[in-house]
A and B are shown apart, each in its own frame.
Chain A
């Protein structure tokens, strides 16, 4: 069964500090997908990134970077020079290709497992 652990319940930093959000996952599948979503106080979850299990390249997008390490089953997210607008709950999620729900012969849907989320508070 797939499982996602975000051990950090809440992180509080001061603006301009760097912060890393941890995500550890468990899966028996060899093909899987990892995601990060941001949920600001308004409530809408915003997709940030998807990573495939066969692509361990780290990724950088502006102040955001992601470190994917299969050896430790981790997919950590770093925000550099944090800003107040980064304050949100961040969810890590995992979808296993092997448990794709095939409702129709022509396709199916992936059902992600979400971690419990990490609340990031950035103080001015």
Chain B
């Protein structure tokens, strides 16, 4: 089945220790998104790519970076995680011409 995969599902990192979250997709979609979701809140868009073209949301902290080396993979790098970065991180895809998004299972990040 075509899908969006995120690894790991759970990630524990120390305060200030860089961490990378990964996302892959078999849907061959042009667009990939990274969202941050905190408890009882809506997902908040951090970045998205149309193919390799990158779009950064204005309020995404500089501490967050992203890479998309090819169509299938996308990475979220948190350079110096703070306690406030503990959240669920969701990856999503959509085709360039359709509208709905397909989400991965998410990575729950804990910062100790």
Could you tell me which A residues sit within 8 Å of B by CB distance? 33, 35, 37, 42-47, 50, 91, 95, 101, 103-104, 106-112, 114-117, 119
In the assembled complex, B102 has its CB within 8 A of some CB on chain A: yes
Partner of B100, one of A43, A47, A115, A117: A47
Given contacts A43-B108, A103-B50, A109-B55, 8 further A-B contacts (CB under 8 A): A43-B105, A44-B105, A45-B43, A45-B101, A101-B55, A108-B96, A109-B33, A116-B41
Distance between A48 CB and nearest chain B CB, rounded to angstroms: 9
Residue ID in chain B nearest A95 by CB atoms: B99
Could you tell me which B residues sit within 8 Å of A by CB distance? 30-31, 33, 40-43, 45, 48, 50-51, 53, 55, 88, 90, 92, 94, 96-97, 99-106, 108
**Complex-state Cα separation, A101 to B96, whole angstroms:** 10
Contacts of A104 in B (CB 8 A): 50-51, 53
Contacts of B96 in A (CB 8 A): 106-109
Partner of A103, one of B42, B53, B104, B106: B53
Partner of A46, one of B45, B99, B103: B103
Contacts of A42 in B (CB 8 A): 105
Residue ID in chain A nearest B31 by CB atoms: A109
Specify the main secondary structure of chain A where it touches its partner: strand
**Complex-state Cα separation, A91 to B101, whole angstroms:** 13
Are A115's CB and B42's CB within 8 A? Answer: yes
**Complex-state Cα separation, A108 to B108, whole angstroms:** 29
Are B94's CB and A110's CB within 8 A? Answer: yes
Are B103's CB and A109's CB within 8 A? Answer: no
Distance between A114 CB and nearest chain B CB, rounded to angstroms: 4
**Complex-state Cα separation, A110 to B31, whole angstroms:** 9
Are B106's CB and A114's CB within 8 A? Answer: no
Partner of A112, one of B30, B51, B53, B101: B101
